[in-house]
Amino acid sequence: MKHVIAHWLSHHPIVSFRLSPEGYYTFINTAGSQGFHRATEDIVGLHLSDILNNETATQALALLDTIKQTNQPVHSELSVLDHDQLEIYSVVAAPVRGEDGQIQSVVGISRDITERKEMEDTLRQARDAADVANRAKSIFLARMSHELRTPLNAMLGFAQIMARDPHTPIHQREYLRIMNRSGEHLLTLINDILDMTRIEAGRIAMHEQTFDLYHLLDDVIDMFRLRAADKGLALRLVCDSVAPCLLETDQGKLRQVLINLLSNALKFTMSGSVTLRVSMQPIADGNRQSANPPTDSDASDTRQLLQCAVEDTGCGIAPHDLEHIFEPFTQTTRDRPVQEGTGLGLSISQRFVQLMGGTLCVSSEVGVGSCFTVTLPVRPIPSAALPIKASLRPVVALAAGQPQYRLLVVDDSADNRAWLMALLEPVGFAVRTAANGKEGIALWQTWQPHAIIMDMRMPVLDGLAATQHIKASPQGHATIIIALTASSIEEEHTTLLEAGCAAVLSQPVTIDHMLETLTSLLGVTALHDDIDALLVYQHGHRNDGYRDTVTIPSEQLRHLPYTVLMELNTATIMGDPALIQTAIRQIQAYDIHVAQALQRLATVFDYSTIRELIQPMLYAEEVGSSASE
């Protein structure tokens, strides 16, 4: 048996050897001798230093000393210079002890791993190059986001200021609406690219929260009412009568998915309708494992499936395109005549839905239409009620009897500084500006503003460094800092909040969002524009499952003057926005809530619904007058 083992070791392709405790070879197999380009018998009896170059011999003797000191095996790598070519060997060696416990010899094996190390080095270089490329891409995207969002912020900001001006003519309001819609479309393209980048980098996370489902649905539908009206399309929201009001899931991602799907449906529908159909159904026992596990380990799984289907009567999708519809940057045959978007919306939507534990599927027929269906596990909240927003009315001024609040705007963009001053000074704030963080700190020290609107990306000293400097001082603790950033990356927002910012606003920021944030953080009392307000109301259901967006009880209309209702009716028939606004302002003097509801309809040019609401009152008045005669 010993002869067999010796023969096997001698002819095995892996190098095997035996050394004396002093470092002399007492055995080496054929593979080892061939590596040294010598005969086996010429190597036996030689010392490590006799056969290895000085550097390699030093490494080998150090390993031998380690084995003798620890009495334990070692595993290491040795570099060997062979004919000006560096080779790397993996070496495993262990002590052999005699009956007295002393080391009699050291046995080991080694193998040439040069090729593997070269491959690892190549892979490491490729990975490093990819990391450099990814960092460069991230820097580029951050700069692109800033360079695009900053002018967009000023453009949309001034458009909103002009739209709020009561002296702006009606036809110019239409131009401003087009500007605003085009800017929002550009913002959508920017966000699509950034979202896909974050998805690829694995930087998208779930943020579950409790929210009002019907508020979300109404908000999303309202975003597309004007666009649908422009194309002559019917835009419908149909809800299951048993759908709960409050749900728990990632509200932001659900909103984005619905926006993407509705935007696509309206883009490819030239006539007919687009319908968002919402329903709830229980999760089958066999499907519970596929959904995200419940977050409360001590509670029973009360989740249900929320199903949101976006149906359209558009051009439909060809069967061969359906296989690739959710791939990023994919343009289908139906996309070619339209040539809008980045080709990322559906891919992002699918990734978001999958992250939330749901599915997104599509069915379509060319020439008939398409239906995209989102199915998500959600948790209904039966008992707790979210507070209803006290007001969605735009802020127009600060109430009298308050101290004048000082606001410092720090932004390197002169356009952004100009539009913020044009917004904030007429409302009643005292405003000063600075072009970079260094100037901002100097003004803060001398003027002591109540709040600072701080751009994050600036020359000389950026907003983050300026914020950290201010918050590091005792007097800076009371200063409210609102970060204005072109980034929509959640991790960066978290960094800004941890640095001491009270709020983070992503550009382009709307006027209403800016004013709501300021008044809330400062605790000031604001005056609102009642006539331009959106109606805040409780949501009800009809038996057929269709939910009206605006309803006005007949008793609220009945006490309004006949002449005013007649003026409004005539104005809607003529389609004259100026006359309609005049009539609504007269109604405001009698009933602010009715005026708000009518204004909501007038804002989206839904004149037919206005007539449907008021004509029964006119008819009843005329019948009553005839009877009295």
pLDDT tens by residue, 97-115: 988 888 999 999 998 888 8
pLDDT at 8 over 70: no
Instruction: Please give the angle made by the CA atoms of 481, 486 and 492, to the nearest 5 degrees.
Output: 70
Average pLDDT over residues 288-305: 56
Tokens 């003798």 belong to which residue? 68
Name all contacts of 80-86 with Cβ < 8 Å and 24+ positions apart: 80/52, 80/53, 80/56, 81/53, 81/55, 81/56, 82/35, 86/114
Q: What is the mean pLDDT of residues 232-242?
A: 82
- Residue 392 in this model has a pLDDT that exceeds 60: no
pLDDT at 541 over 50: no
Q: Please report, as a single letter, which amino acid is at residue 74.
A: V
> Tens digit of pLDDT for each residue in 489-533?
666 788 899 999 999 988 888 888 888 889 889 988 877 654 333
Q: In Å, what is the CA distance from 613 to each residue of 343, 552, 556? A: 42, 7, 11
Partnered with residue 309 across adjacent β-strands are 277, 373
Higher pLDDT, 23 or 538: 23
Strands 526-528 and 395-398: antiparallel
Tokens of 64: 């031998």
**How does pLDDT run across 325-345, given as a tens digit for each residue?**
887 655 555 544 444 545 677
Looking at residue 188, what is its pLDDT? 66
For residues 270 and 292, the model is more confident at 270
Choice between 112 and 139, residue whose per-residue pLDDT is larger: 112
Nearest alpha carbon to residue 519 among 610, 623, 429, 387: 429
Q: Is-above-0.85 flag for pTM? A: no
Q: What is the pLDDT of residue 385?
A: 44
In this prediction, residue 19 has a pLDDT band, given cuts at 50, 70 and 90, of: very high
Please state the separation of Cα 297 from the chain's center in Å.
28
* Residue 24 DSSP class: B
Q: What is the pLDDT of residue 490?
A: 66
Q: Answer with the residue of higher pLDDT: 125 or 35.
A: 125
Rounded CA-CA distance 151/332 in Å is 32
The answer, yes or no, to whether the previous bond of 508 is cis (omega within 30 of 0) is yes
pLDDT for 20-50, tens place per residue?
A: 999 999 998 888 888 888 888 888 999 999 9
Residue 548's pLDDT is 41
Q: Is the pLDDT of residue 294 over 50?
A: no
Round to whole Å and give the CA distance between 511 and 183.
14
- Single-letter amino acid, residue 401: G
Whether residue 394 is preceded by a cis peptide bond, meaning omega within 30 degrees of 0, is no
Could you report the per-residue pLDDT of 586-624, keeping only the tens digit for each?
887 777 778 878 877 776 667 778 888 887 777 666 545
Average pLDDT of 264-285? 88
- Contact call for residues 581 and 607 (beta carbons, < 8 A): no
Q: What is the mean pLDDT of the chain?
A: 79
How far apart, in whole angstroms, are the C-alpha atoms of residue 172 and residue 178?
10
